[in-house]
Structure 1
């Protein structure tokens, strides 16, 4: 079966949770989280929850685990906390919860970042994706440029297809 056939079989909508990881952002200043919500809705996806959490390992893990247990969430999209400073813990918190990883997400994100705008600084990104308890998880840097790139070039074109693959064995 071709990728196009898979896409035709994919769900028409996906219930998504948006999580912004930041020690400083509020709903009023969270441009990246708001951009994610806007783009998801424009593409027919449902945003069932939105939260801003501190960049603390246990807090991030707790929120992702709650989302993974919720019947109102099928995909979890995080932005922020993916850098290499001591304070950046999103990658570790998310990676430790994944049952399966989708290494292509981070690889393609870094490639596109390198090619389109930030050059070799792309190596500093620790974008990651995978599956946690049957839910798709995408974690990307928190800049609006990074969110726009990840969402428009990778996540939005493939989210429904990812969900089709997750759910095909559950039918």
Structure 2
């Protein structure tokens, strides 16, 4: 049955990428670049890309703006998911969700534990949900975390998730 769902998945998704960081620039944003490389390699389109500071209001306004853009179907965020004082991405995006997708964070932490950083994975608050009928993924900002999330979770389901969110809206 899942294969039947996947055959109707979108093959090319219009994406927006947000890097949340107080220090990165477009020249030094290795994780944002990696995220975009993965998307483009799979045939998805980058419609917007921004680097914004770890500020709750700025994160919320940026996500809401991208989710309101009719030319964007998915918003991918990297950075600000840890437990330090400045990590506020989760506090910013979760209140925007009309639906939360808890399985993304659960699976990300499990895979991160098994394949990458071991018990430190419990400190990750990666999450996903729906904002204005757009899928939103929020991953940690390290290259290893972005690679793991993109390869194992986001890319295999991105088109399927967009299709599921929009199928009743057509």
Asked whether the 8 Å contact 2:109–2:124 carries over to 1, the reply is yes
1:146 counterpart residue number: 145
2:118 is equivalent to residue 119 of structure 1: yes
2:33 counterpart residue number: 34
SS at match of 1:139: strand
SS at match of 2:168: helix
- In the TM superposition, residue 154 of structure 1 has moved relative to its aligned partner by 0.2
Taking the aligned partners of 1:117 and 1:43, their CA distance within structure 2 comes to: 23
- In the TM superposition, residue 14 of structure 1 has moved relative to its aligned partner by 0.6
Provide, for residues 80-138 of structure 1, a one-character-per-residue CA deviation record: whole Å limited to 9, x for no partner: 00000111000110101000000000000000000012111110000000100100000
Taking the aligned partners of 1:64 and 1:10, their CA distance within structure 2 comes to: 24
SS at match of 2:129: strand
- In the TM superposition, residue 152 of structure 1 has moved relative to its aligned partner by 0.5
TM-score normalized with structure 2 length: 0.99
1:9 counterpart residue number: 8
- In the TM superposition, residue 16 of structure 1 has moved relative to its aligned partner by 0.2
Runs of 4+ in 1 over 6 A off after TM superposition: none
1:90 counterpart residue number: 89
1:159 counterpart residue number: 158
1:43 counterpart residue number: 42
Aligned length: 170
1:132 counterpart residue number: 131
2:54 counterpart residue number: 55
* Unaligned segments of structure 2, at least 5 residues: none
Taking the aligned partners of 1:7 and 1:164, their CA distance within structure 2 comes to: 9
SS at match of 1:20: strand
* Unaligned segments of structure 1, at least 5 residues: none
Asked whether the 8 Å contact 2:116–2:144 carries over to 1, the reply is no
Taking the aligned partners of 2:153 and 2:116, their CA distance within structure 1 comes to: 16
TM-score normalized with structure 1 length: 0.98
